[in-house]
Amino acid sequence: MDISSYLTPGKRAHLSGIGGVSMSPLAEVLHGMGLRVQGSDMNESPAVEHLRALGIPVAIGHAAENLGECDFVVRTAAIHDDNPEISGAVTRGIPVFERAQAWGAIMKGYRNALCISGTHGKTTTTSMSTHIFMAAQADPTVMIGGTLELLHAGYRVGKGDTIIAESCEYCNSFLSFFPTVAVILNVEADHLDFFKDLADVERSFRKFAELVPERGFVVANRDDAGARETLAGLERPLFWFSLADTSADCRAENLVWENGLPSFDVVIRGKTYARVALHVGGAHNVMNALAAASAAYLLGLPGSAVEQGLATFHGAGRRFEKKGEYHGAAVYDDYAHHPGELHALLTMAKSLPYRRIVCAFQPHTYSRTHALFDEFVRELKLPDVLVLAEIYAAREQNDLGISSADLAAKIPGAIYCPTLSRVTETLRTIAQPGDLILTVGAGDIYKAGENLLKGEDA
């Protein structure tokens, strides 16, 4: 069954989990297309209030009667078959689609679909691309898995011919998309509760690259072994970016670091396309900027848009985001939850002029912690002081019997905290002037830093 036939004016769509980060923009886009949109969510939120202000009814709580006379249902990945709205729809013969299928069908309506994928760096690179396209006054539609200050949201509904979408490999959701430019930042073993191993992850990214039509492009990181392996022998136009490989299509040259921040020339096929000064640190952000610049170049944007767009980019929400100062220590928060992301964050942090790096890390999911245990141990030795919160379960049960205490046992000097309030208390005790305090993870670890600044326990 093809969702495209349902995306027509007058059809009634029910969105289960309508308040989610990529469901609320979907609701707004469908509403703008003339569909009659309704939905449900477990909680009231600013997103729900915003949708109601647009005239979209939202019920709180999930129940079969919420479906009303809808023609089809769209659900988030978090909503399973035993949910009363899903089982109710199946009983009544109402078709149920995944969120990614809906976004994929919407993409078909755009001349350019810039889809940004990778094990990490997606949100930042999608945000950088948004800044560039906004600077070019291209009026893009945007879907990001995080909040961008420029948009005061994680999405934007534009009237231009380009859609920019963060594209996640989890559950193969990005295979429902229709990219004309597919960006692959890196390919590493992750989401091993879904994928069997690295080879399985690489197969998924390969299929994603193969979705690109003949007139499109695959933009990829030449310096990443997983990306090279994934794309070997691909019969699609490949556009490589690199810091190290002089044969790549797009390179950073004349790279200068000042106070931990990079400036460089973006050189494409031997010619300088743009001179970029970033307000975010780390070599990984130079790579993210090269990816965004490559996509802009291929889609015909001038180098001046890259310069202007990146000059106004100060990071996405929860990506090395400054939260405040506590007793002379700077407090920042970051979403890093994979060893590769931790490495990028902590090496960047160590290049900054702080006296000590204090990292409060909350591992995300038992399966990831177990599968990548040795890699986590290696990266978590980088900070001067490590505080470990208990593993954030997310969607999992602890069938593996694993704890952050197991990581702490392998890392000299690590401080294990079974609760978030203990993390806050520990940070309060050890904070010193000149420290950089990082709260790190994809769960609720940010609350420990926020409560430190508020003077409360978590």
What is the set of domains in the chain, with CATH numbers?
3-98 (3.40.50.720), 110-311 (3.40.1190.10), 321-454 (3.90.190.20)
The answer to whether residue 366 scores a pLDDT higher than 90 is yes
Cα gap 440→335, rounded to integer Å? 6
Lowest average pLDDT, out of 38-42, 44-48, 289-293, goes to 44-48
Choose, from 119, 123, 124, 141, the residue flagged as catalytic: 123
pLDDT tier at 457 (50, 70, 90 boundaries)?
low
Choose, from 122, 162, 230, 307, the residue flagged as catalytic: 122
Q: What backbone torsions phi and psi does residue 38 show, to the nearest 5 degrees?
A: -140, 175
Lowest average pLDDT, out of 89-98, 303-312, 395-404, goes to 395-404
Cα gap 206→21, rounded to integer Å? 26
Task: State whether residue 409 is helix, strand or coil.
Answer: helix
Is residue 122 part of the annotated active site? The answer reads yes
Choice between 36 and 458, residue whose per-residue pLDDT is larger: 36
Mean pLDDT of 32-36: 92
Nearest C-alpha neighbor of 234 from the set 260, 202, 259, 264: 202
439 within 8 A of 446, measured Cβ to Cβ: yes
* Mean confidence (pLDDT) of the chain: 93
- Give the rounded percent of residues in the chain with a pLDDT score beyond 70: 99
Mean pLDDT of 250-262: 94
Mean pLDDT of 377-394: 96
**Distance between start and end Cα atoms, the chain:** 47
Is residue 123 part of the annotated active site? The answer reads yes
Count of CA atoms in the C-beta half-sphere (13 A) of 288: 33
What local confidence, expressed as pLDDT, does residue 152 receive?
Answer: 76
Choose, from 28, 85, 166, 169, the residue flagged as catalytic: 166
Is residue 108 part of the annotated active site? The answer reads no
User: Which residue type occupies 168?
Assistant: C
The answer to whether residue 84 scores a pLDDT higher than 90 is yes
